[in-house]
């Protein structure tokens, strides 16, 4: 391997690592706030890429129909919960709660569906195509939380993991039904290329790395400077303590899933011009982000991002040296990390809990 090949592989690794870093941050966020190992994170990647591909192919994105169906189910669940578990609320308060749920879960998804039906065509400007894709995919995050995880918020981590696996398989089946077995690519955001020494840097790679850096900075400012971001951090540090000081852990969970869905959909939009995305491609991509999150112990954002970047670089160089075993090499990275954490972590006996 000469220096030019090493530089090309480093560029590919950093580009992939930037995407894995965003997914790792989303996984750490969801786990720290809700204790859910969010296995379906990859499905939002696939939904984002394939929804944009459908719009660019001048086809109606069936994910908009899924959004409406999830909204109706969420509204029914919210209505039943409001009626059966009033907890001393007056009848006008319950009616207002149901009306707000109808607005969020029914009217807004129907508005997005109508916009996609009327204007979701290939002639739409690229920024508006991306915006429409996000409007369709991102609201699915809090709806999935409302349907699958919120009723089990106090369950054990093992139960939440089983539910997460079930949601993953359900979304994969729905993805096959909506998008079919054929893969799709989208139009690149930039066809430009730049010469840096002897290395040709593609504009698409610059877009991915630039957007990833902007999102990481935006997340940092959000958690450090905003009230809702600080509430999420407090919920992640101590869920019971956050409840005692009046922070709504249900709202924190919905917000965490919304951010995770947004990051997943953006990752799908960013990678779709570089690789063919299938209905089940998101699982493998999300799993590599999960390896980065594990390196960070599912608790440290900077270490998770650095671990995801390491995963991208390892995958890139492995594809050169042993392309048939690159996935094995990447996922083997998790073994020494788990061994090290098991040896250095403090053991707690059941009697001490």
* pLDDT tens track for 185-198: 898 887 777 776 66
Read off the pLDDT band of 179 (50, 70, 90): very high
In our burial notation (b when 16+ CB lie closer than 10 A, e otherwise), range 281-294 reads bbbebbbbbbbbbb
pLDDT attached to residue 75: 94
CA 310 to chain centroid: 19
pLDDT attached to residue 88: 63
Residue showing tokens 């870093």: 21
Tell me the pTM: 0.88
Q: Tell me the sheet residues that pair with 202.
A: 193
**What one-character DSSP code corresponds to residue 139?**
T
The set of residues, in sequence order, having a beta carbon less than 8 Å from that of 322 and lying 6+ positions away, is 329
Kindly report, residue by residue over 316-337, the tens digit of the pLDDT. 888 778 777 777 877 787 788 7
Q: Where are the beta strands (DSSP E) in the chain?
A: 193-196, 199-202
Return d(Cα 253, Cα 26) in angstroms, integer.
Answer: 12
Does residue 264 lie in a domain region? yes
Read off the pLDDT band of 347 (50, 70, 90): low
pLDDT attached to residue 165: 94
* Cβ atoms of 212 and 18 closer than 8 Å: yes
pLDDT at 163 over 50: yes
Q: Using DSSP, how many helices (H) and how many strands (E) does the chain show?
A: 16, 2
pLDDT at 199 over 60: yes
Return d(Cα 259, Cα 68) in angstroms, integer.
Answer: 20
Does residue 30 lie in a domain region? yes
Mean pLDDT, range 18-29, rounded to an integer: 89
* Cβ atoms of 132 and 228 closer than 8 Å: no
Does residue 241 lie in a domain region? yes
pLDDT attached to residue 352: 44
Mean pLDDT across the chain:
85
Does residue 106 lie in a domain region? no
Does residue 341 lie in a domain region? yes
In our burial notation (b when 16+ CB lie closer than 10 A, e otherwise), range 242-266 reads beeeebebeebbbbbbbbbbbbbbb
Among residues 251, 263, 272, which one has the least CA distance to residue 187?
A: 272
Number of domains in the chain: 1
Domain residues for 41?
3-55+147-345
Kindly report, residue by residue over 54-100, the tens digit of the pLDDT. 999 999 999 999 999 999 999 999 998 888 876 666 788 888 889 99
Does residue 215 lie in a domain region? yes
Distances (CA, A) of 175 to 23, 168, 236: 19, 10, 31
- What the block records as the tokens of 111 is 């508005």
Mean pLDDT, range 243-248, rounded to an integer: 73
Does residue 255 lie in a domain region? yes
pLDDT at 349 over 50: no
pLDDT at 230 over 50: yes
Among residues 122, 55, 50, which one has the least CA distance to residue 271?
A: 50
pLDDT at 351 over 50: no
CATH number of the CATH domain containing 46: 1.10.3470
pLDDT attached to residue 350: 39
Read off the pLDDT band of 296 (50, 70, 90): confident
pLDDT attached to residue 328: 80
* Cβ atoms of 64 and 179 closer than 8 Å: no
Mean pLDDT, range 264-293, rounded to an integer: 89
Does residue 141 lie in a domain region? no
φ and ψ at 275, to 5 degrees?
A: -145, 150
Among residues 209, 175, 219, which one has the least CA distance to residue 189?
A: 209
């Amino acid at each position: 391997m000469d220096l030019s090949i090493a530089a090309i592989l480093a560029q590919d690794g950093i580009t992939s690592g930037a995407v894995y870093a965003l997914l790792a941050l989303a996984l750490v966020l969801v786990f720290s706030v809700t204790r859910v190992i969010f296995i379906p994170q990859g499905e939002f990647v696939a939904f984002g890429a394939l929804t944009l591909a459908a719009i660019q192919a001048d086809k109606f994105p069936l994910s908009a129909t899924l959004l409406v169906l999830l909204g109706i189910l969420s509204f029914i669940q919210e209505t039943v919960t409001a009626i059966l578990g009033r907890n001393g609320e007056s009848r006008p308060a319950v009616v207002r709660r149901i009306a707000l749920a109808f607005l969020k879960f029914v009217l807004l998804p129907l508005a997005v569906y109508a916009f996609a039906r009327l204007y979701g065509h290939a002639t739409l400007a690229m920024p508006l195509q991306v915006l429409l894709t996000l409007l369709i995919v991102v609201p699915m995050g809090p709806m999935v939380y409302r349907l699958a995880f919120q009723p089990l918020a106090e369950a054990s981590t093992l139960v939440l993991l089983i539910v997460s696996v079930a949601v993953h398989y359900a979304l994969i089946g729905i993805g096959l039904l909506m998008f079919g077995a054929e893969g799709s690519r989208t139009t690149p955001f930039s066809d430009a290329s730049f010469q840096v020494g002897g290395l040709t840097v593609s504009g698409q790679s610059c877009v991915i790395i630039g957007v990833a850096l902007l999102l990481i900075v935006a997340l940092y400012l959000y958690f450090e400077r905003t009230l809702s971001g600080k509430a999420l951090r407090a919920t992640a540090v101590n869920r019971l303590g956050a409840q005692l000081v009046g922070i709504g852990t249900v709202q924190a969970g919905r917000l965490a899933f919304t951010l995770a869905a947004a990051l997943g959909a953006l990752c799908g939009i960013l990678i779709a011009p570089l690789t063919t995305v299938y209905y089940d491609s998101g699982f493998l991509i999300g799993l590599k982000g999960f390896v980065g999150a594990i390196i960070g112990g599912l608790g440290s954002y900077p270490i998770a991002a650095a671990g995801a970047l390491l995963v991208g670089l390892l995958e890139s160089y492995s594809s050169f040296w042993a392309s048939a075993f690159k996935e094995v090499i990447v996922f083997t990275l998790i073994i020494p990390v788990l061994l090290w954490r098991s040896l250095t972590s403090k053991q707690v006996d059941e009697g001490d809990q």
